[in-house]
A and B are shown apart, each in its own frame.
Chain A
Amino acid sequence: MAERLLTFSIFRYNPNTPEIKPYMQEYKLEEMPGMTLFVALNKIREEQDPSLMFDFVCRAAICGSCAMLVNGKPRLACKTLTKDLPSRITLLPLPVFKLVGDLSVDTGTWFRHMSLKTEAWIHTTKEFDPQAREERMDNETALKIYEAERCIECGCCIAGCATANIREDFIGAAGINRVARFMVDPRDERSPQEYFEVVGTEEGTFGCVGLMACEDNCPMGLPLQMQLAYVRRRMAAAGLAARPQTRAC
């Protein structure tokens, strides 16, 4: 491909200076072979505008830090090659999450809250015995847990979700996938009823309106709709079974 001059139109706003209204700022950059948005944004910051804020950590699509709206779509910037984009590239921060500044958003607080809300840890009454051999597990089960555990909490599914964009308390596909991860884990002793308390509501699994953007946007290719269907089925069954005791939602 012939070398192009790229135009980046980037969202600028610092919540610490609310008197300066949000605006779009343009930067020009010559495209290089193999250029990713990681490379491009760092070049812009180092050579043109050292005040520009954005987040990268692993730059290898493993840590989930660098999600942003790339020409309107939630993407991991580190693995987005400029050659796959038109010469005019618009970058906006992910919606839903609190803005730190420019392209940087606070996903950490959101995901920690979601973990607390879904109690995303193994619930067990067993004690750990340091002298004992580990408990056995079928390898197929281990692989199944790992499949659901592959979420990197980048927030792309949340940003692209209509429900998450209109209701603050919705745990979204990432939250539902997290619940599914513990549901398939035999070490977790929670009953369906206990899970129902956590996610059998419109903040949880019944809040989804089925637009499926979560799965389309997931950079890890997780089967988020299948996970939703799985958790929903389990919750519907638990909800029906526990109807007299459970408040309506």
Chain B
Amino acid sequence: MSVYQTHTTDVLVIGAGLAGERTAIEAATHGLDVIILSLVPPRRSHSTAAQGGMQASLGNCAMGYGDNPDIHFEDTVKGSDWGCDQDVARLFANTAPIAVRQMAYWGVPWNRVVAGRKTLPDGREIEDLKEYEGLITARDFGGTAKWRTCYTSDGTGHTLQYTMDSIVIKMGITVHDRMEAIALIHDGENCYGAVARCLRTGQLHAYLARSTVIATGGYGRLYGVSTNAVINEGSGMFLALETGVVPLGNMEAVQFHPTGMVPVGILITEGARGDGGYLLDKNLHRFMPDYEPKKKELASRDVVSRRMIQHIRKGYGVESKWGPHLWLDIRHLGRKHIYTNLREIANICKNFAGIDPAKDLIPVRPTQHYSMGGVRTNIDGHAYGLKGLFAVGEAACWDLHGFNRLGGNSLAETIVAGMVVGKKVAEYTLGAALDCPLKLVDEHVKRQENRINDLISGRLGKENVYELRKQMEDTLMEYVGIFRNGPDLQKAVDKLQELYRRSLRLGLRSSGKYASPELASALRLPGMIRLALCIAYGALNRTESRGSHAREDYPYRDDVNWLKRTLAYWPPGAELPLLKYEPVKITELPPGDRGYGESSAANAARTETAHDKEGNNG
């Protein structure tokens, strides 16, 4: 008989970032008892690091006039390269304005419209009208027809998370921080909660709930260089995968952000380009207009990232001891603008590169940033395969982003999905009984105890967790990056399979007792490598290029064969994911030209005419 503490609640939310907290608030508003588990205090969540903003078609600022959910929907579908679920995109675009306004009501100090004429960095004259003064304003982001990204200077994620958490505190929602879910409790049909390990004491806890929500964010740390926080290891995704019955959707869709700072990979927000920053090469030539004459630096992230790598490959990169990079130039925005609207950039430049962006160029390179893939859910956020399991935010494949997410749509997704899914969770929970056999709980806890004991005793082997992890990171960086091809992806799959087998024979070098950080890493690593395999194997099998998934050997989007979503399952005992596919739901906008990017350039003449007709709103 195991000794562990048991907690019972209506709704268990794993993850306390924006998506998790918004879901928890919605469920609690319906009178349900909620417990949130979090690796760290909620305000340390990676949501806090988002600088740029949150898209919602308020249409309050001069460059946003006429904006509405239809245009937001269209931008999102084009951004996704027609990989998203259009029902979800529609629901999302319609709800985003309410979400932004509710955050204002709860306390977010959104930047506001100031009336008057202004000159943009590119010389255009605009005028913000008196009638909109004091309403929430917006800035320009990539891939959007209107200025739609609402922001608080460059601390948008920070103010959203702090405000959201203040509501969690006000409502008295229970948060167990430094508590890590390490397995879901399920019987192959229903999910009953999770086994968790306390990161203060190392003790195991069982959380039993009528519904369980995965809101653990992305897996950026599978890659050696990522803009993500170090806690973004994809844990919720691999917990769901390990059930064997819940699939992950589109794991091969990995977003690279154009401007990770070299060498540390810390993000320089897209707001820098949105506010008028340029990319320069080693000759200080602004090269993006050569490739993307209309959208320039503000094409979608997948396109800008690829153009940068193409340009580097042509020999225009700035050589450095960390490899070639390009420059981001924001000097012309002026010291005042930089030290108010882009102050965090200035701080990051100073702290981590010792430069002043008001007079120096910023070294940048595309860097792993976001996972479009995740726990596959339906439009209600209900995971495929297990009743009572939901997923929300970056951990989920809802699927709003398809093969490329637009900047500003991730913060918007966390909150909109939290509202929508939270309501569905509440409806489900109110109609569900908690009839979990305690024997099942015991079995699940026992299994985790055995894993821990095996790691501590070294009974299964002495493989070093940090060494294997490093090799996994390097494999993804080298072979599953921005440009992909069959032979490299096959190498990645082979290497990752070898690492996976070795990861089942980890042994600790420390005692592994109490809150041992080495034990925590060792418990995660096999799951992380499974995710890596889902990414690499999914990419190997998808023989087309779509959004962020760019195959050099299959350079075109193939709607005939590939207008479908990858579902990756991990059957018990498997060493490779089992891939299945489902069609992508097209409701309003049939596949067409995005208006930017490589496929569009192929029929540039036609695009050129169409754009001229539309007028200059790009």
Chain A complexes with chain B: yes
Q: Which residues of B contact A126 (CB under 8 A)?
A: 105
In contact, B351 and A61 (Cβ under 8 angstroms) = yes
In contact, A134 and B101 (Cβ under 8 angstroms) = yes
Q: Is A145 an interface residue (CB 8 A)?
A: yes
A152 to B544, CA, bound (A): 44
Q: Which residues of A contact B508 (CB under 8 A)?
A: 50
In contact, B135 and A133 (Cβ under 8 angstroms) = yes
Encode B326-369 as 1/0 by CB contact (under 8 A) with A.
Answer: 00000000000000100010011001100000000000000000
- In the complex, the chain B residue whose C-beta lies closest to that of A39 is B264
B40 touches which one: A61, A108, A128, A141 (CB < 8 A)? Answer: A108
Q: A34-B263, A108-B41, A121-B167 are in contact. Are A138 and B112 (CB under 8 A)?
A: yes
In contact, B113 and A139 (Cβ under 8 angstroms) = yes
- In the complex, the chain B residue whose C-beta lies closest to that of A122 is B107
A55 to B200, CA, bound (A): 12
Interface hits, B163-189 → A, CB 8 Å: 165-167, 169-170, 175, 177-178
B20 to chain A, nearest CB (A): 15
In contact, B169 and A116 (Cβ under 8 angstroms) = yes
A1 to chain B, nearest CB (A): 13
In contact, A106 and B200 (Cβ under 8 angstroms) = yes
Interface hits, A117-168 → B, CB 8 Å: 119-122, 124, 126, 128, 130, 132-139, 141-143, 145-146, 149-150, 152-153
- In the complex, the chain B residue whose C-beta lies closest to that of A154 is B44
Q: Is B8 an interface residue (CB 8 A)?
A: no
B100, B112, B155, most chain A CB atoms within 10 A: B112
Encode B180-205 as 1/0 by CB contact (under 8 A) with A.
Answer: 00000000000000000001111000
Q: A60-B352, A138-B112, A150-B158 are in contact. Are A52 and B107 (CB under 8 A)?
A: no
In contact, A57 and B351 (Cβ under 8 angstroms) = no
Q: Is A4 an interface residue (CB 8 A)?
A: no
Encode A152-193 as 1/0 by CB contact (under 8 A) with B.
Answer: 110000000000000000000000000000000101100000
Of the listed stretches B141-149, B484-492, B515-523, B584-592, chain A binds B515-523
Q: Is B601 an interface residue (CB 8 A)?
A: no
In contact, A143 and B509 (Cβ under 8 angstroms) = no
In contact, A62 and B48 (Cβ under 8 angstroms) = yes
Q: Is B46 an interface residue (CB 8 A)?
A: yes
A133 touches which one: B46, B101, B111 (CB < 8 A)? Answer: B101
In contact, B48 and A63 (Cβ under 8 angstroms) = yes
Q: Which residues of A contact B165 (CB under 8 A)?
A: 115
B514 touches which one: A16, A58, A62, A138 (CB < 8 A)? Answer: A16
A112 touches which one: B46, B135, B175 (CB < 8 A)? Answer: B175
In contact, A108 and B178 (Cβ under 8 angstroms) = yes
Q: Is B240 an interface residue (CB 8 A)?
A: no
Q: Is B581 an interface residue (CB 8 A)?
A: no
In contact, A142 and B229 (Cβ under 8 angstroms) = no
Q: Which residues of A contact B49 (CB under 8 A)?
A: 58, 60, 62-63
A55 to B229, CA, bound (A): 12
B338 to chain A, nearest CB (A): 15
In contact, B112 and A139 (Cβ under 8 angstroms) = yes
In contact, A120 and B351 (Cβ under 8 angstroms) = no
In contact, B134 and A139 (Cβ under 8 angstroms) = yes
- In the complex, the chain B residue whose C-beta lies closest to that of A55 is B40
Q: A63-B49, A116-B169, A149-B109 are in contact. Are A138 and B158 (CB under 8 A)?
A: no
Q: A121-B166, A149-B162 are in contact. Are A57 and B112 (CB under 8 A)?
A: no
Q: Which residues of A contact B380 (CB under 8 A)?
A: none
How many A-B pairs with Cβ below 8 Å? 185
- In the complex, the chain A residue whose C-beta lies closest to that of B228 is A58
A187 to B613, CA, bound (A): 45
In contact, B112 and A152 (Cβ under 8 angstroms) = no
A141 to chain B, nearest CB (A): 8
Q: Is A65 an interface residue (CB 8 A)?
A: yes
Q: Which residues of A contact B137 (CB under 8 A)?
A: 139
A34 to B159, CA, bound (A): 30
In contact, B40 and A65 (Cβ under 8 angstroms) = yes
A116 to B165, CA, bound (A): 11
Q: Is B266 an interface residue (CB 8 A)?
A: yes
In contact, B41 and A111 (Cβ under 8 angstroms) = yes
B104 touches which one: A130, A134, A150 (CB < 8 A)? Answer: A134
A136 touches which one: B134, B178, B351, B516 (CB < 8 A)? Answer: B134
Q: Which residues of A contact B152 (CB under 8 A)?
A: 142, 146, 149
Interface hits, A53-108 → B, CB 8 Å: 53, 55-65, 79, 100-101, 106-108
Q: A52-B517, A100-B515, A137-B112 are in contact. Are A108 and B466 (CB under 8 A)?
A: no
A151 to B246, CA, bound (A): 40
A86 to chain B, nearest CB (A): 19
A111 to B513, CA, bound (A): 28
Q: Which residues of B contact A9 (CB under 8 A)?
A: none
Residues of A in contact with B (beta carbons under 8 Å apart):
14, 16-17, 34, 36, 45-47, 49-53, 55-65, 79, 100-101, 106-109, 111-112, 115-116, 119-122, 124, 126, 128, 130, 132-139, 141-143, 145-146, 149-150, 152-153, 185, 187-188
Supply 9 A–B pairs (Cβ within 8 Å), ascending by A: A17-B514, A51-B510, A51-B511, A63-B43, A108-B177, A120-B169, A121-B167, A146-B153, A149-B159
Q: Which 6 A-B pairs have the closest CB atoms?
A: A108-B41, A136-B134, A50-B518, A145-B109, A51-B510, A121-B166
